[in-house]
């Protein structure tokens, strides 16, 4: 039987900042939840409630999100270092990474880089090899965030924005799109089970044609790598999937953790 870990909440130092981490403890399989670009850990509450005490749940806020402190670096590689710091601080060796949106891409990269350190990945409407790139797309993204800048303080309190400037929000989004556009080779290298949960509803800020192209871009990768599979398709959209379809998300997590030695391909 696995050792029982005590529940814990606190701050974990990394680089020039500290991250707020919550660990439910317990002796079950360890699930580490990775948030969307500007979200905090509260978005996982319904999923965690669905799964209950059978698992050990670890959530944390990224830099300038939730209760975590600001930083001089909001890059993707900083997020990689943050995940490493959280795993090290909590003594986690082979977690199941559950990522939503940006967090799903982080989980995929982590699994590809460190194949022996991940038991499985659950990608909630993310880690799709499609992104808007080029000067025209970058300007579109920057204009969108500049128009929204007055809403950020309110959205941050709701867990929907970071304590960043409009341009910093845009920088994160632009980098995410650039990395998503070249994600396919990363997904080809994933050697652990990776389960997708895909939203099918319309999403604010994305045109219907773009959404169709994004979803279709995943098909060739699924065909090439048998470790990747779609666990569920749900009717909610990208923003609402954790709230409206938490039972489906929890169901896929259960499927990927039973039996314990489950593998695909």
Q: Which residue bears the tokens 């900042």? A: 17
Q: Is 59 helix (H, G, I), strand (E, B) or coil?
A: strand
**For residue 3, what is the DSSP state?**
P
Convert the pLDDT of each residue in 138-166 to its tens digit.
Answer: 999 999 999 999 999 999 998 999 999 99
Contact between 125 and 172 under an 8 Å Cβ cutoff? The reply is no
Mean predicted confidence (pLDDT) in 246-265? 75
Rounded distance, CA 45 to CA 41, Å?
8
φ and ψ of 177, to 5 deg: -65, -40
The pLDDT score that the predictor gives to residue 250 is 98
**For residue 26, what is the DSSP state?**
B
7 versus 211: the higher-pLDDT residue is: 7
Local confidence band at 43 (pLDDT 50, 70, 90 cut-offs): very high
Convert the pLDDT of each residue in 196-230 to its tens digit.
Answer: 999 987 665 555 566 678 888 999 999 999 999 99
Convert the pLDDT of each residue in 77-92 to its tens digit.
Answer: 999 999 999 999 999 9
Question: For the chain, what percent of residues have pLDDT higher than 70?
Answer: 93
Q: Report which of 75, 94, 13, 54 is spatially closest to residue 253, judged by C-alpha positions.
A: 54
Contact between 169 and 201 under an 8 Å Cβ cutoff? The reply is no
Rounded distance, CA 50 to CA 30, Å?
15
Q: Which domains are assigned to the chain?
A: 8-132+178-256 (3.40.50.1820)
Q: Report which of 125, 81, 133 is spatially closest to residue 103, judged by C-alpha positions.
A: 125
Question: For the chain, what percent of residues have pLDDT higher than 90?
Answer: 86
- pTM for the structure as a whole: 0.94
DSSP per-residue codes, 164-197 = S-HHHHHHHHHHHHHHHHT-HHHHHT--S-EEEE
Local confidence band at 262 (pLDDT 50, 70, 90 cut-offs): very low
Q: Evaluate if residue 261 carries a pLDDT over 50.
A: no
């Amino acid at each position: 039987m696995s050792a029982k870990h005590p529940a814990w909440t606190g701050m974990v130092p990394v680089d020039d900042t500290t991250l707020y981490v919550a660990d439910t403890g317990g002796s079950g399989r360890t699930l580490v939840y990775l948030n969307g670009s500007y979200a905090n850990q509260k978005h996982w509450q319904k999923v965690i409630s669905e799964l209950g005490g059978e698992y050990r749940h670890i959530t944390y806020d990224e830099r300038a999100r939730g209760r975590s402190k600001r930083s001089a670096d909001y890059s993707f590689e900083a997020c990689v270092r943050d995940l490493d710091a959280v795993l090290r601080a909590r003594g986690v060796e082979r977690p199941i990474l559950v990522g939503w949106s940006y967090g799903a891409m982080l989980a995929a990269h982590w699994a590809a880089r460190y194949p022996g350190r991940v038991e499985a990945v659950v990608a909630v409407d993310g880690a799709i090899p499609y992104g808007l790139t080029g000067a025209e797309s970058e300007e579109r993204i920057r204009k969108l965030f500049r128009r929204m800048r007055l809403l950020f303080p309110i959205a941050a309190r709701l867990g929907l924005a970071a304590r960043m400037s409009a341009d910093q929000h845009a920088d994160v989004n632009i980098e995410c799109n650039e990395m998503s556009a070249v994600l396919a080779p990363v997904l080809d290298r994933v050697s652990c089970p990776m389960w997708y949960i895909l939203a099918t509803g319309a999403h604010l800020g994305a045109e219907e044609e773009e959404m169709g192209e994004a979803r279709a871009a995943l098909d060739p990768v699924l065909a090439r790598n048998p470790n990747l599979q779609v666990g569920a398709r749900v009717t909610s959209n990208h923003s609402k999937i954790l709230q409206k379809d938490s039972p489906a998300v929890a169901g896929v997590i259960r499927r990927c953790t039973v039996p314990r030695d489950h593998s695909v391909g």
